[in-house]
Amino acid sequence: MKSIYFIVCCLLFSGAASALDCWIPTVDNTQPRYRSDVLPNMRSFVSTVEQVVRDNPHFKAMPRPIRIRAAFSVGPADAQVNVYAYQPPVWTPGQCNVVPGADRCCHDGSITVLVNGSAATGSDYAVRPGIVNWFKEPKRTGTVEGFPEYEGRVYMSLDGRLPWIPFSVDEFLADQERQVLERRDEFQKRPMVFGNDPKTIEKMYEGMKRVDAKAAEEFRAKMLAESEVAAARDRKAYEAAERNIARDLDKIVTFRAGLTPAQLAAQAYHGNGPFNLGRADDPLSVKLVKPNRDFFDRSQADRIRLITVYVGGAPNDPVPERLATMQRTKATFDFQRLAKFLQ
């Protein structure tokens, strides 16, 4: 019985090994200005990520031939590693490589690891002064090796903290008010011409006069005669737009003033309600969050506070066994080996 089991395992292993055509040399996408930075923890981490993938038997065991390549970038306080398993159509003939642009298509599986950045929020938290970058809280999809998973992405930190925090009702309404104020400012700065523009009429008149002086005179007389009617129409539309903006602003200010401190401090939900505010008890509402700006200390350029891991796989993959292969890759991925880099 043991001998049969051994033979089956050997056959499976040999089939898995045959999927990998070659491992393409790693690509360093680090920006030139950061390549000389002394970041031993970051650089050791990206090397370890690649080795973890190399050591995983399932990622190399795709259901059809593949070539694998890792690419990484390192910078102050962040890093990223992408590993792709490429399909034969993008292989470079006669070389262990792939054609340019292969990352944009034609890979059978991928693994992405981010340092101090989130696939949900993006690694760049810089936004316009006074603007809060709020977004819908990712859906919790499970726990992997003791770490929380949101929408297929595993978030690893020492204390279990996440790179986002609740976005309050007060902040949400303040953001809505800001948008109306911006709309009002843009509206007031817009040059307004009521009726037919005299300069435009004269320009068209001069052009027509060189061809047909009589028609040009008739055209100008008609446009000037219609100008008063057009001016009244345009002025009415302008005043209506001005009233609408003032009404929208008043509605937000009044609604916000009518809420209690506790209601304003509560986490905002996006849904079917005033100004798209949802109710917590509505199953169609979704929680709103914002980046936790205190999560990272950018002055500690070599400190790893958060590791985000995404092992790709399409739920309705048309290629048999490809999704199952990626699921096995994820189930056997050495998360704990990466967690040792957290500080």
275: in domain? no
Least confident of 150-159, 267-276, 296-305: 296-305
Determine the pLDDT at residue 25. Answer: 97
Residues 244, 304, single domain; the answer is no
What's residue 157's pLDDT? 93
For the segment 322-331, the average pLDDT, to the nearest whole number, is: 93
| Residue 332, pLDDT score | 95
Average pLDDT on 120-133 reads 52
Mean pLDDT for the chain overall: 85
Q: Determine contact, residues 148/141, Cβ cutoff 8 Å.
A: no
pLDDT tens-digit readout, 255-285: 999 999 999 999 999 999 999 999 999 999 9
Structure tokens at 212: 């047909």
- Residues 112, 6 share a domain: yes
34-92 confidence digits (pLDDT tens): 888 889 999 999 999 999 999 999 999 999 899 999 999 998 889 999 999 999 999 99
Contact 334, 54 (CB under 8 A): no
* Secondary structure of 16-76 in HEC code, one letter for each residue: HHHHEEEEEEEEECCCHHHCCCCCHHHHHHHHHHHHHHHHCCCCCCCCCCEEEEEEEEEEC
57 occurs within a structural domain: yes
Please give the residue range of the domain that contains residue 304: 2-117+296-339
Q: Which range is least confidently modeled, 128-142, 189-203, 255-269?
A: 189-203
Pair (10, 89) in one structural domain: yes
Would 277 be classed as within a structural domain? Answer: no
The verdict on residue 266 lying in a domain is no
pLDDT value at position 13?
37
**Any domain includes 200:** yes
Please give the single-letter amino acid code of residue 203: K
Q: What is the mean pLDDT of residues 223-234?
A: 75
- Report helix, strand or coil for 313: coil
In a domain? residue 151: no
Domain count, the chain: 2
- Residue 206: phi and psi, rounded to 5, are -65, -35
Query: Residue 121: its pLDDT value, please?
Result: 56
* Residues 68-95: b if buried by 16+ CB within 10 A, e if exposed: bbbbbbbbbbbbbbbbbbbbeebbeeee
End-to-end CA distance of the chain: 48
Which of 91, 113, 111, 112 has its CA nearest to residue 102?
A: 91
**Looking at the structure, do residues 249 and 322 belong to the same domain, yes or no?**
no
Rounded distance between C-alpha atoms, residue 234 and residue 81, angstroms: 57
Residue 94, pLDDT above cutoff 60:
yes
The gap from C-alpha 330 to its chain's centroid, in whole angstroms, comes to 22
Of the residues 255, 288, 320, the one at which a domain ends: 255
- In this model, does residue 8 exceed pLDDT 70? no
Tell me what pLDDT residue 66 has: 94
Residues in contact with 332: Cβ distance below 8 Å, sequence separation at least 6, in sequence order: 56, 57, 58
d(CA 7, CA 13): 10
Per-residue pLDDT band for 131 (boundaries 50, 70, 90) equals low
Contact between 186 and 180 (Cβ < 8 Å)? no
Q: Which pLDDT band, with edges at 50, 70 and 90, does 3 fall under?
A: very low
What long-range pairs does 277-282 form, CB within 8 A, spacing at least 24?
Answer: 277/169, 277/172, 277/173
Q: How confident is the model at residue 195 (pLDDT cuts 50, 70, 90)?
A: low
Predicted confidence (pLDDT) at residue 24 exceeds the cutoff of 90: yes
pLDDT of res. 294:
77
Q: How much of the chain, in percent, has pLDDT values that exceed 70?
A: 88
Q: Band the pLDDT of 123: cuts 50, 70, 90.
A: very low
| Residues 6 and 83 occupy one common structural domain | yes
- 48, 26 contact by CB (below 8 A): no
For residue 290, being part of any structural domain is answered with no
Give bridge partners of residue 86 from the DSSP assignment.
67, 107
Distance CA 63, CA 309 (A): 23
- Give the C-alpha separation, 147 to 172, whole Å: 30
pLDDT in tens, 283-300: 999 999 998 877 777 788
Please report which confidence band the pLDDT of residue 97 belongs to, taking 50, 70 and 90 as the band edges.
very high
Q: Are residues 106 and 42 in the same domain?
A: yes
330 lies in some domain: yes
